[in-house]
Amino acid sequence: MKPQFILGVDAAWTAHHPAGVTLVKIPASGRAQLVRVARSYEEFCQIAASNKIDWTAKVRGSAPNISSLLAACEKLTGAIPNVVALDIPLGPQPIIGRRTADRLVTKAYIARKAGTHSPTAQRPGPISRMLFAQLAHCGFEWLHAEASPRQSKNARLFIEVYPHPAIIELLGLDERLKYKTSKLTKYWPALDHTHRRAAVVKNLNRLRLALNKRITGVAQGLPGAQLLERTFQLKGYEDALDAVVCAWIGCEFLAGRCVAYGDRESAIWVPKPVIRN
């Protein structure tokens, strides 16, 4: 049996913000393995063979270029990914507001503070359309909520995912993990900056280690968050970690351990609760 590959994309909703990208290999036997992780489309395509990232450097945003990403994947592994899992609203019709998928995920997870964001025609409208068109042009099939994954077993697929509920299920949390660097004041209003930073670093490291138990090499591919001193460095790290989450959801999807929320026009795939070892 050939190995399978999953490309995880934490897609920015605008072209001027960077997007995290991760490539994961599922061998014929054994655990999934991290192949490459990056904080932007360009960085994913440009990292040298050593796969080393200068986590202290800034990265730039750009419009997505699926062909370049797939070429980089093929250069790395000799294969095109079986599944692309993206954290961004996707669908065959223009997205101008909340969809069935958004409403159903929010209904299922709002009590755990993991409702979805509201998409608009401006954000992420153009980026969503671009990604959908590029993936379809490259031979990938979008999977809606009423489709059977088994019916598309041999197809190249792309799916919409959402990290917050996935992380809840991965860690067995009562509510969403507080790891977003832009929300430190909202998370911990009573703490000073030093203690807020320490708290978010702790949660980023908790997520990193949990993912490492599911995907070999995550702990080696991403340093401990405490080593990053600047807020922009932590933000890039967060984007890369979100992309790893997207790839992990893709792994769960291929294993038949995901649930689709939505209809024929929308679908957000969320992992089932993880069975504790």
CA torsion 268-38-73-124 (nearest 10°) is 40
How far is it, in rounded angstroms, from Cα 132 to Cα 120?
16
Mean pLDDT by 10 residues, the chain (277 residues): 95 96 95 96 79 88 97 94 98 96 98 96 96 98 84 79 98 97 96 96 98 97 95 96 98 95 97 80
Within the chain, strands assigned E span: 4-10, 20-26, 32-38, 83-86, 141-142, 157-160, 215-216, 258-262, 267-271
Is residue 238, in this structure, part of any structural domain at all? no
pTM above 0.75, yes or no: yes
Is residue 77, in this structure, part of any structural domain at all? yes
Burial track 59-93 (b if 16+ CB lie within 10 A, e otherwise): beebebebeebbebbeebeeebbbbbbbbbbbbee
DSSP string covering 48-75, please? -TT----TTS--------HHHHHHHHHH
Is residue 105, in this structure, part of any structural domain at all? yes
Is residue 205, in this structure, part of any structural domain at all? no
Domains held by the chain: number: 1
CA-based angle 214:38:226, to the nearest 5? 75
Domain that holds residue 113: 4-174+243-271
Per residue in 152-210, pLDDT tens? 556 899 999 999 999 999 999 999 999 999 999 999 999 999 999 999 999 999 999 99
Is residue 182, in this structure, part of any structural domain at all? no
How far is it, in rounded angstroms, from Cα 179 to Cα 157?
29
Tell me if 251 sits within 8 A of 24, measured CB to CB: yes
Is residue 91, in this structure, part of any structural domain at all? yes
Cα of first residue to Cα of last residue in the chain, in angstroms, is 26
Is residue 39, in this structure, part of any structural domain at all? yes
How far is it, in rounded angstroms, from Cα 41 to Cα 64?
7
Is residue 186, in this structure, part of any structural domain at all? no
